[in-house]
Amino acid sequence: MAKKKSELIVLCCENSAYLAAESLTDTKIMQSVKVVMLPCSGRVEVGLILKFLENGAAGVLVLGCPLDNCKFVRGNYRAQKRVDVAMKALNDAGVNKDKVKIDFISSLDTHKFIALVKEMKSTLF
Amino acid sequence: MIVGEQKPFEKVYESVKEYKKVLILGCGTCVTVCMAGGEKEVGILASTIRLANKQNGIRMEIQEATVARQCDREFFDEVKDKINWADAVLSMACGVGVQFCSEVFEGKRVLPALNTRFYGTTEQQGIWSERCAGCGDCVLDKFGGICPIARCSKSLLNGPCGGSQDGKCEVDPDNIDCAWQLIYDRMKLLGCLENLEENQVIKDWSAGRDGGPGKIVREDMVL
Amino acid sequence: MSAKTKFDKKKVTLQQSVLVIGGGMAGIHAAQELKGYGYETTLVERADILGGKGNYINQRADYKKILSGVTVLTRSTLTDLSGHVGNFSATITTPKGDKTVSCGAVVLASGIENKGGSVLFDNENIVPIAELKNSITELTEAETPVSVGLILDLNIEETKAGAEMVLNMAMDLQRNHNAEVYVFCREIRVASLELETLYDTARDASVNIIKYEGTITFNTTGNFITVAARDVILNDSIAVDCAKVGISPYGLNVSADSGLAEMVGVNLDALGQMQDNNVHFFPGQTNRPGIFAAGSCRGQYYAPQIITEAKSTALSVHSLLAQKSLVVELSHAVVDEEKCALCLTCIRSCPHKAMVIDQNKKVAMSIPEVCRKCGICVGECPAKAIELPAYTDDIVLGQVG
C-alpha cells in the first residue's frame, strides 16, 4: 500500500465551517487537506483528535461557530476546552501541540476558512 | 464515591515504558464518574502513550479495556485473556482496583495510573470535594451532618481554631470553608446549637486507618 | 464506513394548546395572538391584575376584551413543568388549589425582577429612578425648585426603553413637580420617531441633558449630592448639586425570574435575561424546544418592540404547533445501558434538556423529539456510552478514508 502524504484534517461544524468550505472555488488550497463534517463542533473529542493524529494526520484544525452563536448554545465552548486538553496530551507525548488548533467562523466566512487553512498548512508542512 | 485524578503523564509513562505488552484497564464506576479512569480516559491515555512511543522510538503493543468495577473479582473474567497477554496492566481504577487486579491475577505487574484522593461528592459538573475521611466511627449526628474530621483541616472536634476568618480556613482561604463555621450555621438552622456545648472526648482513631488495615466479616452473608 | 442514512421515524402529536406565563404586555399580546391562531391558550399571572409594568402606560386597557377566549388565571404561579415539546404538563397553583394544564408549547413572559435594594450608595437620596415617585410630594411642596439628577446608563448600555422612561420622568418632574432636572447620559438612544420628538419636547421643557464621558462621581456635600463628570459637548468638567438623584434601574440588578428559569430549564445569559444572546434563537426561542420567551424577561424593554416581538414569538409557536405532529427521525443520541454509570454528565450538559433518567433501567436516555443531534453529550460522556448513529467514531474517522 502506497504511503499517503499526511493530511491536515479540518473538523468542520456543518452549520458554519462546512458551509464556508463548500463555497470554495480554489481547489489548490485543499491539496493535502481533508474536510470532515460534524453535526456541531461539540462532537469533537480529545480521543478523536488524538486518533486522527495516530492515524497519520499532519494536524487537526477544529472549526466551529463563533462563540455565543453556536446553534446548540455551547458546543463551541465545549470544543475549545477539549482542544486545550488535546494540546496538553500532545505536549505530554512530546509532540508539537501546534498540530491541533481551534477557531471559530461563520457559514459566510469562506475567506477566513482559506486563511486559517493556509496558516495551518504553513505551520505543519 | 471514591474520587481520584490521573497521575502526571511523565510519571505514568516512566513506569510503563519498559514493558512491551501493556493493557490499559479502565473502571466503569467511581473513576468514570469523576472523569479520571473511565473508557474515555483509557482511550486518551492509550493514544497519548502511543504518540509518545512513536516520538521516542519505543515499541510497545497496547490494548484497551474497561470493566464495570475492579473491586469485585467476577468483573475481571471478561478481560482475563487480555490480562494474561499483557506484561503489565496499567490500571486506571482507584487504589483498590489496582491492588485487586494483581491479587486476582497473582503476580501480575499492575501499575496505577491514578492517585486516589478522597471520598467525596460532585459539587457541580467538573468539581469534586472531600466529605468523608473513613474514620470508622461516624459522629455526624453530633455536628448537624457536617464532618469536622474530613472537612476541618485539623480535624478538631470541639470548635474552631483561631485560623477561622470570615468563614474560611487559614490553610487555604480561597478554597476551604471553615468546617466549624459550617457546623455552627447548620446547627443554628436545625435549632440544636446548644448541643455544641457537649464536650467531645478524645476520639478512638483505631476504628479507622490508624487501627491498621480494616476488615469486615458478615457471617450471615458468607456463602 | 458510510454514514447511516436510513432511520426509522416516530410521530409525535403536538398538543394544540399553549401556556403563557406572565400577564404583562408581552404575555397579553402573545396570548391574544395565539388565541387568534386557534390555540387553546392559558395565561398565568401571579398578581391580582393584569398589565405588569405596562400598567403605568395605559391603565384603562380592557384586558378582558383583548383576552376573550383565553383562560386567565390570576394570583396563580407555575410550580412545576414536566414533559417535552408538544406535550408539556404544567402544575399551576391557583387560589383554588393546584391545576394541571397540558400544552404543546410554553411562552415565558414573566418580566423582570428588581433585585437591587434602595441602598445603592451611602446616601438615601440616591435611589433607583422608580423610587423617585416616593419623593414627589416632598419635591412639590418645597419652597424653591429642587434640582434632581437622573442618571441614565451608569453601569451598562441602556435601551430605548430606558431613554423613554427617563425623558418622560424628567418632563413630568420639571413641569409638574417643581424640579430642575439634569439628565446625565453617556449615550441616549432616541432612534425612533416618538423618541426623537420626546427628546425635543424634554429640551423645550427646560430639562438639562448632559452627555458625559468617563467616570461620574457622587459626593455628599451637606444636604446635596454633587454629581460630577466631564461634559463631552462643553469639553469641560461639570458639577451639579442635586437634592435627589435617580439611577435608571435597567442598568442595575435587574434580571428575569431565575427561579422560573431554573424550573423550566431555560438558560439565563450574562445579564440575567432569559434566552441566550444567540442569533439562532431570535426572536423568541430558547435552548429548550417548545419553550419560548418574550418581553422584558428576555431583555426587551421598549414598549412598542415588546408588542411586536410578542406577536412574532406567537408566530414562532404557531409555526411549531400548526404542523399538528412532528415526524421525528430516530437518529437521536443512544445510550449504551451497560456502560452508563448514571454519572448525570449528559443530563447536565445537554443544552436542550433532551437527556433524562430512565427510571426503570436507571440509565440516561434521550428524548427523540427534543434531541437536536449535536453530539455534545457524546463528547462529554466519560464512559463512551453515548452514540449519535449518524456520527459514530468510526464514521467520523472513516470520513478520512
**Does residue B139 contact residue B183 with C-beta atoms inside 8 Å?**
no
Cα C309 to Cα B129: distance, rounded to the nearest angstrom: 45
Q: Chain A closest CA to B34's CA: distance in Å?
A: 16
Specify whether C232 is located in the same domain as C138: yes
- Residues of chain B neighbouring A45 (CB-CB closer than 8 A): 40
User: How far from A99 is each of A54, B50, C82, CA to CA, in Å?
Assistant: 12, 16, 46
Q: Evaluate whether A24 touches A110 at the Cβ level (below 8 Å).
A: yes
What would the mean pLDDT of A82-91 be, rounded to a whole number? Answer: 97
The rounded distance, in Å, linking the Cα atoms of C166 and C246 is: 9
**Residue-averaged pLDDT of chain B:** 95
C190 domain residue, yes or no: yes
For B191, the grid coordinates are 435549632
- Flag whether C317 is in a domain: yes
Query: What is the pLDDT tens value at each position of chain C, 401 positions in all?
Result: 455 678 999 999 999 999 999 999 999 999 999 999 999 999 999 998 888 776 655 555 678 888 999 999 999 999 999 999 999 999 999 999 999 999 999 999 998 876 554 445 667 788 777 677 777 777 778 888 889 999 887 766 666 767 888 898 899 888 888 899 999 998 888 887 788 999 999 999 999 999 999 888 889 888 889 999 999 989 999 999 999 998 875 445 567 888 999 999 999 887 788 887 788 888 899 999 999 999 989 877 777 788 999 999 999 999 999 999 999 999 999 999 999 999 999 999 999 999 999 999 999 999 999 999 999 999 999 999 999 999 999 999 999 87
Residue A1 has pLDDT above 60, yes or no: no
Closest CA to C90 of C290, C371, C352, C282: C290
Residue C242 inside a domain? The answer is yes
Compute the count of residue pairs across chains B and C with CB atoms less than 8 Å apart: 33
Longest dimension (CA), chain B: 68
Does C366 lie in the same domain as C314? no
Lowest mean pLDDT among B124-138, B158-172, C127-141, C266-280: C127-141
- Of C247, C269, C287, the last residue of a domain is C247
| Closest by Cβ to A34, choosing from C267, C388, C400 | C400
CA distance A70 to A15: 9
Cis peptide bond prior to B148, omega within 30° of 0: no
Taking contacts as CB-CB distances below 8 angstroms, the residues of chain A near C372 are 72
> What is the least distance, in Å, from the CA of B9 to any CA of chain A?
6
pLDDT for position C62: 78
Same domain, C223 and C131: yes
- Shared domain check, C199 and C124: yes
Partner-chain contact A40 C375, CB within 8 Å: yes
Contact at 8 Å (CB) between B161 and B154?
Answer: yes
For residue C261, give Cα distances in angstroms to B148, C101, C134, C275, C313. Answer: 36, 19, 32, 9, 18
Is C194 domain-assigned?
A: yes
Contact between C343 and B28 using a beta-carbon 8 Å cutoff: no
What is d(CA B129, CA C347) in angstroms, rounded to the nearest whole number?
21
Boundary residue ending a domain (C202, C225, C247): C247
pLDDT at res. C121: 63
B contact residues 4-63, partner A, Cβ 8 Å cutoff: 9-10, 13, 40, 43-44, 47-52, 55-56
H-type helices in C222-356, by residue range? Answer: 258-264, 303-321, 345-349
Model confidence over B16-74: pLDDT tens digits? 999 999 999 999 999 999 999 999 999 999 999 999 999 999 999 999 999 999 999 99
Report pLDDT for B121: 96
Give the DSSP letter string of B86-101.
-SEEEE-S-HHHHHHH
Whether residue B66 and residue C383 make contact (CB cut-off 8 A), yes or no, is: yes
Which residues in chain C touch residue A47, judged by CB atoms under 8 angstroms apart? 393
**Cα separation of C262 and C266, whole Å?**
6
- Quote the percentage of chain A above a pLDDT of 70: 96
Per-residue confidence (pLDDT) for residue C113, from 0 to 100 = 74
Q: What is the DSSP string of B122-134?
A: EEETTEEEEEE--
Hey, what's the cell of C296? Answer: 422584558
In chain C, the N- to C-terminal Cα span, in Å, equals 9
- Is residue C2 assigned to a domain? no
- Structural domain includes residue C179: yes
pLDDT at B129: 95
ipTM: 0.93
Closest partner CB to A90 (pick from B10, B13, B51) = B51
Write the CATH number for C274. 3.50.50.60
Count the neighbouring beta carbons within 10 Å of the beta carbon of residue C262. 11
Angle at CA C341, nearest 5°, toward C335 and C344? 80
> Can you read off the three cell numbers belonging to residue C361?
433501567
d(CA C43, CA C22): 7
- C375 grid coordinates: 453530539
Is position C320 within any domain? yes
Judged by a CB distance cut-off of 8 A, whether residue A43 touches chain B is no
Same domain membership, residue C223 and residue C296: no
* B33 has a chain C CB within 8 A of its CB: yes
Nearest to A78 among C267, C379, C401 (CB): C379
Exposure letters C337-351 (e unless 16+ CB within 10 A, then b): eebbbbbebbbebbb
- What pLDDT is attached to residue C75? 96
Helices B9-16, B39-56: axis angle to 10 degrees equals: 70
pLDDT given at position C61: 67
Residue C96 — left, alpha, or beta (φ > 0 → left; ψ -120 to 50 → alpha)? Answer: alpha
Q: Angle formed by the axes of helices A46-54 and A75-92, to 10°?
A: 50
- All residues of chain A having their beta carbon less than 8 Å from the beta carbon of residue C388 are 39, 43
pLDDT at residue C183, as a whole number: 94
Q: What pLDDT, on the 0 to 100 scale, is given for residue C117?
A: 44
Predicted confidence at residue C251, as pLDDT, reads 44
Same-domain status, C316 and C346: no
Mean pLDDT of the B164-176 span: 95
User: What SS3 state is found at C208?
Assistant: strand
Cβ B66 vs Cβ B30: under 8 Å? no
Return the pLDDT at A90: 97
Predicted local confidence at residue C1, as pLDDT: 44
Which residues of chain B lie closer than 8 angstroms to C383, CB-CB? 28, 32, 38-40, 66
What is the nearest CA distance from A43 to chain B, expressed in angstroms?
A: 14
Neighbours of chain A (3+ CB pairs under 8 A): B, C
Other C-beta atoms lying within 10 Å of the C-beta of residue C49: 12
Question: What CATH code would you report for B2-117?
Answer: 3.40.50.2300
- C31 sits in the region (left: phi over 0; alpha: psi -120 to 50; else beta) called alpha
Are residues C349 and B125, on separate chains, in Cβ contact within 8 Å?
Answer: yes
Of C197, C231, C247, which marks where a domain is finished?
Answer: C247
Q: Is C133 in a helix, a strand, or coil?
A: helix
Mean per-residue pLDDT, B125-141:
95
CA distance A44 to chain C (A): 6
Range of the domain at C385: 331-394
The domain that contains C341 carries what CATH number? 3.30.70.20
Global confidence as pTM: 0.83
The answer to whether residue C180 sits within a structural domain is yes
Residues C179 and C281 both lie in one domain: no
C280–A75 C-beta distance less than 8 A: no
A46–chain B Cβ distance below 8 A for any pair: yes
pLDDT at B12 over 90: yes
Rounded distance between C-alpha atoms, residue C231 and residue C233, angstroms: 6
Q: Where are chain B's structural domains?
A: 2-117, 134-211
C-alpha cell at A36: 470532515
> C121 with C234, same domain?
yes
C136 and C96 together in one domain = no
Q: Give pLDDT, residue C95.
A: 96
Query: Do residues C18 and C50 both lie within one domain?
Result: yes
Is residue C70 domain-shared with residue C55, that is, in the same domain?
Answer: yes
Amino acid making up residue B94: C
> How confident is the model at residue C118, as a pLDDT?
40
**In terms of domains, do C196 and C291 share one?**
no
Q: Hey, is C359 helix, strand or coil?
A: coil
Which residue from B minimizes the CA distance to A50?
Answer: B47
Coil/strand/helix, residue C284: coil
Q: Give pLDDT, residue A27.
A: 83
Domain count, chain C: 3
